[in-house]
Amino acid sequence: MGQEIERKYLVNHSKWKQLAKPEGELYRQGYLVTDLNKTIRVRQAWGKGFLTIKGPSVGARRLEYEYEIPFKEAEELLSHFAVSELSKVRYKLPIGNKVWEVDQFQGDNAGLLVAEIELESEDEVFDVPDWIGEEVTTKQEYYNSNLTTNPYKNWKPE
């Protein structure tokens, strides 16, 4: 059974700007299905296409199945079947024995920076860089699928 254990954090903008980082990769992703119990996503990145099915989140854990599909088919699925879509640039930064993935969102979500780290277990100990801010793992408004329907530009400052 496929499973993902992932924690998400906000990124400190000023520290991120000062950080030497690798070149990012543009992601285009759209959702064929989004509800509380499942999402079905199509993504284009690295010149490849991906179809991903995710179950509901329970803490930092959820079922996940991902399959590579032809890039052209991903483009067709996004263009003809996606009910919502977003784009972002993803940066991959190795720190300790893990890779942090930082998403710099574009379009209606511009200004939002979210870092993710995939883990082997929910209680795994890992190195936290100084540019990491508040944990938002369980905050549903930060789920990519929710950002397509309630984008960052519409959020009220707290």
Look up 31 and say whether it is catalytic.
yes
Tokens standing for residue 146: 């929710």
CA–CA gap between residue 121 and residue 118 (Å, rounded): 9
Catalytic residue among 27, 31, 91, 143: 31
Q: Which helix (H) or strand (E) holds 18?
A: helix 13-18
8 A C-beta contact, residue 39 and residue 154: no
Classify the C-alpha dihedral 79-47-52-9 as positive or negative.
negative
CA–CA gap between residue 127 and residue 122 (Å, rounded): 14
8 A C-beta contact, residue 105 and residue 147: yes
In 35-140 the beta strands, taken as DSSP E runs, fall at 39-45, 48-54, 61-69, 84-95, 98-105, 113-118, 132-135
Task: Write the CB contacts of 17 (distance below 8 Å, at least 6 apart in sequence).
Answer: none
Query: Catalytic residues, which ones?
Result: 31
